[in-house]
Amino acid sequence: MSSTRIVVSLASGEVSDAVVHALPGEVSWLRVCAAAGDDPDPIALRRAFDGDLVYALDPIAATLDSATPAVLAIDELADHERAAEPGVDGRRGRIRKAAPGSSLTRRGARLREAARSYDLVELDAELDLVPETLAAVAPEKRLIAWRGAAADTAELRRRFDEMAATPARYYRLVVHADRAREALAPLELLRDLGRDDVIAFASGAAGTWSRLLSPLLGSPFVYGRANWERGRNSRERSQTSQAVTAQKEVRAASGPRGAEPDDFLAADRLVADYGFPEIGRVERVFGIVGDPVLHSLSPRLHNAAYRALGASCFYVPFHAASFAEFWEDMDAGGALRALGFELGGLTAASPHKEAVLSFASEISPAAQRAGAANVFIPDGDGGWKATTTDASGTLELLRDHGVEPRGGPAAVFGCGGSGRAIAVALQDAGWEVVLVNRGAARAALARTLLHLPFVPQAEFQANGHAIVVNATPVGTGASAGSLPFDVGGLRRDAVVVDLPYGNRTTPLVSSARRRGLLAIDGRQMLLAQVPQQFELMTGTPMPEGLPEGVLTAIDLPGVAAEPAIEVTATGLTSEAASGLAAAAPGAGGAGQPAGPQNEAGVADRRRTRTAAGA
């Protein structure tokens, strides 16, 4: 098992004792990204943080503290323009000297001063490799960094070779990625180099998975951000937010070279969701593909189960605007295989539940009827199978809450993949289902596939319905605070199921519970479906009680905390561990059929209730 150092990157406006003290204990490096104005006091930082310190000076924003700006977009100059530009090295496009009093002179002075107090100083590969700065920053204190637009592996290798001509402790290359293909190049570079002093990954939401996999290919660091809301009052949070937003606006206006990745995962999620800093050997990669997808709690559950079982697997989020592009970029798993990993399976999230069917060699009956799937797994014969747990997960969850089908009226809000799958399940269980949707096109598709009655959302009345399922994102994101329908007309024994989840209980669930109704939220739905998805993907049951233990640890809304097995980076600490080794993938039992999932503790929360027909 290898250990990767977690680096938390803080903009200068974020630095405070409260933020630093709230960092997880696993964070070993603190990176301060300074901009215009004064630098944080390193002595005060060392009093608050007992790890190592990295000083980084924003390549764009830091020039704003001088009235004599320098030309920074030198990477955009043609070779003949570089040769003619005073102070620019035509071969590498580096600044060789700066006019007295210029922003580059001020920049060099700040870097040289930082070398006196920080453990590492980041030197921009195109701005800072000048004699005065290199003389002041010893090689063991240098992290030479380059950031740019998407580039292929050959271009990244050329960049690295130029950087490596200057001795340094570490080298970092970051490209911006808008799709999976662009996130592969940094990982291919790490594979080809085989070094332990090179950090390479892609920024942007589409590149998040590359950051998580990069330590498995030799990168010594994984970068995260602070959860700076912790330990602060509302005024401090507002002030910090304003400072960070101002820096982001400067970076966004400056293009790829000035852009600092603002989509780092919080450091506590690197620990809880992915198991950093201790990462074992990984042979199979699984993931959830969607847009958006970085909020998902699925990685936390799957990775905790892998650690409990001692399985050499890793589950990551694949942010993709188009599943067709993603699948092409991944070469149906071939791209990951070239890096040394097998693609073991995918959870398909919105909006890709329909698109995955086009790439499946086998489609389960439930997914065929719904016209959508949320699980995509190898079929054992070189192809891929699409199936769904939306239907079975919903029925299991209702049964766990004591809701028995009696042929009553049910409404499903949303005619997307999840809504259609749940409507099929409810209909098969005997419910009288009506579809509700705002858009006409998707509603027409659902009616064609399912042959169920439809009511436009504006005309829907909740009166008399025994079950209402919200399969739309209303209540989260841009629509936070909104209700998909008025719960006031629901009967007293009605059940409300709300699929979306966030950091807080959704307005729909809160409203339903205030009226004394049984309300099942999206995280509880996750608890029902993830064990099924895990077993479909790995052939091994998820350890009993693990999902509830993991999610109650992060304050699962509406679910009381209860004793659960404890999972560490090395596995289970309970006696249950002895019985799980044989079930781990590669241990002789992974491919054996398993019985239905039995989630410990769920039965204790059941509410005996009959949702009878009208």
Residues involved in catalysis: 353
Residues 6 or more apart whose Cβ sits within 8 Å of residue 383: 360, 361, 362
Tell the burial category of 78 from Cβ atoms under 10 Å away from its Cβ (0-12, 13-18, 19+). exposed
Instruction: Report yes or no: 599 and 535 within 8 Å, Cβ to Cβ.
Output: no
Tell the burial category of 289 from Cβ atoms under 10 Å away from its Cβ (0-12, 13-18, 19+). buried
Nearest-angstrom CA–CA distance, 413 and 425: 14
State how far the alpha carbon of 594 is from the alpha carbons of 268, 584, 589, 590, in Å. Answer: 33, 13, 10, 9
DSSP string, 367-391: HHHHT--SEEEE-SSSSEEEE-SHH
* Single-letter amino acid code for the residue at 132: E
Which residues, listed in sequence order, are joined to residue 377 by a DSSP beta bridge? 385
**C-alpha atoms less than 13 angstroms from C-alpha of 191 in its C-beta half-sphere:** 16
Nearest-angstrom CA–CA distance, 191 and 53: 28
Nearest Cα to Cα of residue 426 among 443, 406, 442, 446: 406
User: CA torsion, points 266, 269, 270, 274, in degrees to nearest 10?
Assistant: -150
Nearest Cα to Cα of residue 70 among 87, 58, 84: 87
Nearest-angstrom CA–CA distance, 549 and 601: 9
Query: Which residue in the block uniquely carries the two structure tokens 């409810």?
Result: 426
For the chain, give the number of residues.
Answer: 614
Nearest-angstrom CA–CA distance, 387 and 402: 26
Which residues, listed in sequence order, are joined to residue 319 by a DSSP beta bridge? 290
Instruction: Report yes or no: 526 and 551 within 8 Å, Cβ to Cβ.
Output: yes
The distance between the two most distant Cα atoms of the chain, rounded to a whole number of Å, is 84
Nearest Cα to Cα of residue 350 among 412, 419, 264, 269: 419
DSSP state of 260: P
DSSP state of 123: E
Nearest Cα to Cα of residue 315 among 307, 326, 323: 307
Q: Please state at what angle helix 440-450 crosses helix 417-428, rounded to 10 degrees.
A: 30
Residues 6 or more apart whose Cβ sits within 8 Å of residue 128: 107, 108, 111
Query: In this structure, what are the phi and psi dihedrals at residue 341, rounded to the nearest 5 degrees?
Result: -125, 150
Taking only Cα atoms into account, the Rg of the chain, rounded to an integer number of angstroms, comes to: 27
Q: In what order do the strands lie in the sheet with 495-498?
A: 454-456, 432-437, 409-413, 467-470, 495-498, 518-520
Nearest-angstrom CA–CA distance, 527 and 496: 17
Give the β-pairing of 467-470 and 454-456. Answer: unpaired
- The alpha carbon dihedral of 55, 60, 63, 65 has a sign of negative
